[in-house]
Structure 1
Amino acid sequence: MLARHTDSVTIVERDRLPDGPADRKGTPQARHTHVLVSGGARALDQLLPGTTQALLDHGAQYIGTPNRLLVLMSRGWLGRFEEMQFIIGCSRPLLDWVIRRRVFTEDRITVRQATDAVGLLGDGHRVTGVRVRDRQTGRTSHIEADFVVDATGQGSDAGTWLTDLGLPAPAEQHIDPQVFYSSRIYQAPSTAGDDFPEINIMSDPTRTDYVKAGVLVPIENRQWIVTLVGSRDHQPPTDETGFAGYARSLRHPVIADLIDTAKPLTPPRGFRIPGNRRRHFDLATWPQGFVVLGDAACTFNPIYGHGMAIAARSALALDTGLRRYGPHDDTGRIQRDIVHTADVAWDMATRQDLRYPTTIGPSPGALARLQQRFLDRLAWAATGSRTVAAAQLDVYTLSEPPSRLLAPSVILGILLGPRQPARTEPPLTSDEQPALPTPSD
Structure 2
Amino acid sequence: MSERPSPARTAVVLGGSHTGMLAARALAGPADRVVVVERDALPSTPGPRRGLPQARHAHMLWSGGVRAMEELLPGITAALLDAGARRAPVTTDMVVLSPHGWFRRWPESHHVVLAGRDLLDATVRKAVLADERVELLQNTEALRLTGDAKAVTGVRVRERGGRERDLAADLVVDATGRGSGAPRWLTDLGLPAPEQRRVDTGLAYASRLHLAPEHARGGFPVINIQPDPRDGGPGRAGFLLPIEDGRWIVTLSGTRGGEPGPANASGDDFVRFAREQLRHPLLGQLLAQAQPLSDVAFTRATVNRRYFYERMPTWPDRFTVLGDALAAFNPAYGHGLAVGAQSALLLRQLTQRHGLAARGLSRRVQKAVARPVAAAWDLATSQDVFYPGATENGPSVRDRLAAAYVSRLMHTATGNGRIARRVTDVTSLERRAEVLLTPSVLLGAVLGPLRPSLSGPPLTGEELKRAGLE
Q: Under TM normalisation by the shorter chain, which class is it?
A: over 0.9
8 Å CA contact 2:213–2:467 kept in 1: the answer is no
Comparing 312-321 with 404-413, greater Cα deviation is found at 404-413
8 Å CA contact 1:238–1:269 kept in 2: the answer is no
8 Å CA contact 2:217–2:247 kept in 1: the answer is no
Amino acid in the other structure paired with 1:143? L
8 Å CA contact 2:265–2:273 kept in 1: the answer is no
Deviations 1:244-282 (A, max 9, x none): 110012111111111111111012111113311111212
Work out which of the residue numbers 240, 243, 258 in structure 1 matches 2:286: 258
How much has 1:409 moved relative to structure 2?
2.6
Amino acid in the other structure paired with 2:283? I
8 Å CA contact 2:416–2:451 kept in 1: the answer is no
Q: Does 1:272 align with 2:300?
A: yes
Identical aligned residues as a percent: 44
Residue 433 of structure 2: aligned partner: 402
Query: Structure 2: how far apart are the matches of 1:166 and 1:141?
Result: 22
Give 5+ residue unaligned stretches, structure 2: 1-25
Work out which of the residue numbers 275, 289, 313 in structure 1 matches 2:318: 289
Residue 365 of structure 1: aligned partner: 396
Work out which of the residue numbers 233, 238, 241 in structure 1 matches 2:257: 233
Q: With the length of structure 1 as denominator, give the TM-score of the two structures.
A: 0.97
Query: Structure 2: how far apart are the matches of 1:280 and 1:362?
Result: 20
8 Å CA contact 1:35–1:89 kept in 2: the answer is yes
Q: For 2:42, what is the secondary structure of its paired residue? A: coil
Query: Structure 1: how far apart are the matches of 2:397 and 2:193?
Result: 31
Q: With the length of structure 2 as denominator, give the TM-score of the two structures.
A: 0.91
8 Å CA contact 2:43–2:49 kept in 1: the answer is yes
Deviations 1:375-423 (A, max 9, x none): 1110011011110000001100101111111233322222211133311
Query: Structure 2: how far apart are the matches of 1:35 and 1:130?
Result: 33
Amino acid in the other structure paired with 2:224? N
Q: Does 1:425 align with 2:453?
A: no
8 Å CA contact 1:317–1:341 kept in 2: the answer is no
Deviations 1:117-175 (A, max 9, x none): 1111111111111100012x112111111111111111000111111111111111111
Segments of 4+ in structure 1 off by > 3 A? 435-439
Q: Does 1:164 align with 2:188?
A: yes
Q: For 2:309, what is the secondary structure of its paired residue? A: coil
Q: Does 1:43 align with 2:87?
A: no
Give 5+ residue unaligned stretches, structure 1: none
Distance 1:258 1:304, change over 3 A: same
8 Å CA contact 1:193–1:432 kept in 2: the answer is no
Work out which of the residue numbers 413, 437, 442 in structure 2 matches 1:382: 413
Amino acid in the other structure paired with 2:234? Y
Query: Structure 2: how far apart are the matches of 1:191 and 1:320?
Result: 45
Q: Does 1:304 align with 2:328?
A: no
Query: Structure 2: how far apart are the matches of 1:438 and 1:35?
Result: 26
Query: Structure 2: how far apart are the matches of 1:120 and 1:241?
Result: 48
8 Å CA contact 2:115–2:244 kept in 1: the answer is yes
Query: Structure 2: how far apart are the matches of 1:358 and 1:211?
Result: 13
Q: For 2:96, what is the secondary structure of its paired residue? A: strand
What do you get for the CA RMSD once the two structures are aligned? 1.3
Query: Structure 2: how far apart are the matches of 1:5 and 1:270?
Result: 41
Q: For 2:106, what is the secondary structure of its paired residue? A: coil
Q: For 2:144, what is the secondary structure of its paired residue? A: strand
Query: Structure 1: how far apart are the matches of 2:445 and 2:295?
Result: 43
Deviations 1:46-70 (A, max 9, x none): 1111111111111111110110011
Residue 411 of structure 1: aligned partner: 442
Residue 328 of structure 1: aligned partner: 358
How much has 1:436 moved relative to structure 2?
4.2
Q: Does 1:115 align with 2:140?
A: yes
Query: Structure 1: how far apart are the matches of 2:234 and 2:387?
Result: 6
Query: Structure 2: how far apart are the matches of 1:399 and 1:272?
Result: 29
